[in-house]
């Protein structure tokens, strides 16, 4: 009997070793590529892998690496060098370059980076530095850069050594809440397992809570999250996102959740100039430009779109430019006889912007929110 049990234990042990090896292999073979979150549907769970790191960068300076080699009390450290060695200057510079406006959000990100740099430095001197709480809440209307910033934040936390992998798992209510008794906990745990070492980004997190329905399984998710956010805070950062007013209501009904969120970042709707600049940036990235009449047409278009329901800020800009590209292509390719030059292939004209087929796309855009 005893030898049978020993054999069984050996088989189970071997099995879990193999399973761990498979999971490990999967993790290391993750494709490291950038995925534009807005190019995918927001309906199901998405895992966005961490960005590729330049050799020798990013993994250096992690929490674990530092623990062994304490600095003597008389030593000094320099934050320019610290930022350099963690490779965060390039992340912060890229934030500034790639994202128009968002000044208060960028300032907050700088503050968080500073906190973590000092925390790391303290640890190198052997000073007490309990890991600061890093769960966050990103509030703001659709298309204001919340998901984009969460991806950058995951990367930043990874480079500073606070997240092992720095990937991001995007989830919504339906990815977490089950449909029958006993379904919710395993469903939520599956997402949590996927998120370990990275960021769990819960979009429209307030849908987890239904005040009118005390039997709703969403409460079970909230309870599990509260526990994991406390107990696994070394391995996982949770970012809740959604409209500000609804998130405030959610926190009022769930004070436990509020108390676990250390950083609130508010993303304001963009004004016309910012939207125009965002469009300009997107066009430059794709080698297109607006003729001067098209610039006027684009501003006119944005002004009317801003007043409509379902306007989704930078996402609407991106979508409209996609449509302009289609119309531009149609205009050029439709004229079989004419010769077009390089500039023609890059230049968007007013007729590519202001077309009366806009209604056709509006419902599609509403679905993307």
With H, G, I as helix, E, B as strand and everything else as coil, classify residue 181: coil
Site string for ligand ADP, 175-214 (x = CB under 6 A): ----------------------------------------
Should residue 101 be labelled a site residue for ligand ADP when binding is judged by CB under 6 A? yes
- Closest CB to ligand ADP among 284 and 335? 284
- Closest CB to Mg ion among 147 and 319? 147
CA distances, 217 to each of 193, 223, 279, 322 (Å): 19, 10, 41, 39
DSSP letter at 51? P
Query: How big is the site for ligand ADP, counted in residues (CB under 6 A)?
Result: 20
Q: Provide, rounded to whole angstroms, the least separation between the CB of residue 150 and ligand ADP.
A: 8
Q: Provide, rounded to whole angstroms, the least separation between the CB of residue 369 and ligand ADP.
A: 8
Q: Which of 147, 184, 254, 276 binds Mg ion (CB under 5 A)?
A: 147
Tokens 């080699």, located at residue? 69
- Closest CB to ligand ADP among 314 and 353? 314
**Which stretches of 29-102 are DSSP H helices?**
63-67, 79-86, 89-98
With H, G, I as helix, E, B as strand and everything else as coil, classify residue 11: helix
- Closest CB to ligand ADP among 164 and 368? 368
Q: Which does 318 bind (CB under 5 to 8 A by kind): Mg ion, ligand ADP, none?
A: ligand ADP
Which own/partner contact pairs does 20-27 have at CB distance under 8 Å and 24+ positions apart? 27/165
Tokens 């092992």, located at residue? 164
Q: Between residue 309 and residue 328, which ones bind ligand ADP under the rule CB under 6 A?
A: 314-315, 318
Q: Between residue 271 and residue 290, which ones bind ligand ADP under the rule CB under 6 A?
A: 278, 281
CA distances, 197 to each of 208, 238, 335 (Å): 23, 11, 53
Should residue 195 be labelled a site residue for Mg ion when binding is judged by CB under 5 A? no
Q: Provide, rounded to whole angstroms, the least separation between the CB of residue 353 and Mg ion.
A: 25
Should residue 148 be labelled a site residue for ligand ADP when binding is judged by CB under 6 A? yes
Dist CA 347 CA 334 (whole Å)? 16
Q: Which of 58, 142, 198, 218 binds ligand ADP (CB under 6 A)?
A: 142
Dist CA 330 CA 335 (whole Å)? 8
- Closest CB to ligand ADP among 168 and 348? 168
Q: Which does 219 bind (CB under 5 to 8 A by kind): ligand ADP, Mg ion, none?
A: none
DSSP letter at 347? E
Q: Between residue 32 and residue 91, which ones bind ligand ADP under the rule CB under 6 A?
A: 36-38
- Closest CB to ligand ADP among 48 and 224? 48
- Closest CB to ligand ADP among 144 and 184? 144
Q: Which of 63, 95, 116, 147 binds ligand ADP (CB under 6 A)?
A: 147
With H, G, I as helix, E, B as strand and everything else as coil, classify residue 239: strand
Q: Provide, rounded to whole angstroms, the least separation between the CB of residue 100 and ligand ADP.
A: 4
At what angle are helices 292-306 and 272-285 packed, to 10 degrees?
Answer: 130
Should residue 144 be labelled a site residue for Mg ion when binding is judged by CB under 5 A? no
Dist CA 222 CA 130 (whole Å)? 25
Should residue 170 be labelled a site residue for ligand ADP when binding is judged by CB under 6 A? no
Q: Are 365 and 38 in contact (CB under 8 A)?
A: no
Q: Provide, rounded to whole angstroms, the least separation between the CB of residue 146 and Mg ion.
A: 5
Dist CA 230 CA 225 (whole Å)? 8
Of 165, 163, 179, 146, the closest CA to residue 42 belongs to 146
Of 158, 309, 300, 314, the closest CA to residue 237 belongs to 158
The contact set with ligand ADP (CB under 6 A) reads 36-38, 99-102, 140, 142-148, 278, 281, 314-315, 318
The contact set with Mg ion (CB under 5 A) reads 147
């Amino acid at each position: 009997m005893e030898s049978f049990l020993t054999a069984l234990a050996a088989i189970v042990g071997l099995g879990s070793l193999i399973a761990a090896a498979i999971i490990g292999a999967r993790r290391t073979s993750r494709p490291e590529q950038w995925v534009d979150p807005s190019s995918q549907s927001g309906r199901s769970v998405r895992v966005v892998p961490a960005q590729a790191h330049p050799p020798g960068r990013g993994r250096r300076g992690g929490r674990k690496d530092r623990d062994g080699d304490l600095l003597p009390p008389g030593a000094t450290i320099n934050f320019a060098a610290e930022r350099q060695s963690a490779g965060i200057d390039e992340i912060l510079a890229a934030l500034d370059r790639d994202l128009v406006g968002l000044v208060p959000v960028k300032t907050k990100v700088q503050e968080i980076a500073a906190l973590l740099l000092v925390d790391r430095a303290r640890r190198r001197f052997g000073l007490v530095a309990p890991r600061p709480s890093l769960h966050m809440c990103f509030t703001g209307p659709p298309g204001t850069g919340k998901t984009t910033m969460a991806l950058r934040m995951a990367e930043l936390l990874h480079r500073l050594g606070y997240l092992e992998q720095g990937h991001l798992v995007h989830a919504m209510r339906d990815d977490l809440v089950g449909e029958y008794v006993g379904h919710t906990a395993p469903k939520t745990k599956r997402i949590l397992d996927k998120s370990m070492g990275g960021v769990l980004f819960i979009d429209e997190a307030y849908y987890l809570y239904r005040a009118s329905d005390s039997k709703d399984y969403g409460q079970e998710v909230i309870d599990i999250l509260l526990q994991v956010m406390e107990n696994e805070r070394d391995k996982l950062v949770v970012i809740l996102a959604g409209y500000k007013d609804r998130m405030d209501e959610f926190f009022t009904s769930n004070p436990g959740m509020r108390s676990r969120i250390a950083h609130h970042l508010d993303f304001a709707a963009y004004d016309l100039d910012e939207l125009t600049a965002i469009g300009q940036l997107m066009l430059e990235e794709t080698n297109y430009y607006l003729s001067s009449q098209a610039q006027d047409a684009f501003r006119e278009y944005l002004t009317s779109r801003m007043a409509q329901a379902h306007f989704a800020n930078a996402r609407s800009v991106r979508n409209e430019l996609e449509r302009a590209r289609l119309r531009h292509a149609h205009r050029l390719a439709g004229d079989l006889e004419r010769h077009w030059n390089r500039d023609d292939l890059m230049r968007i004209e007013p007729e590519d912007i202001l077309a009366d087929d806009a209604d056709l796309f509006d419902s599609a855009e509403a679905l993307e929110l």
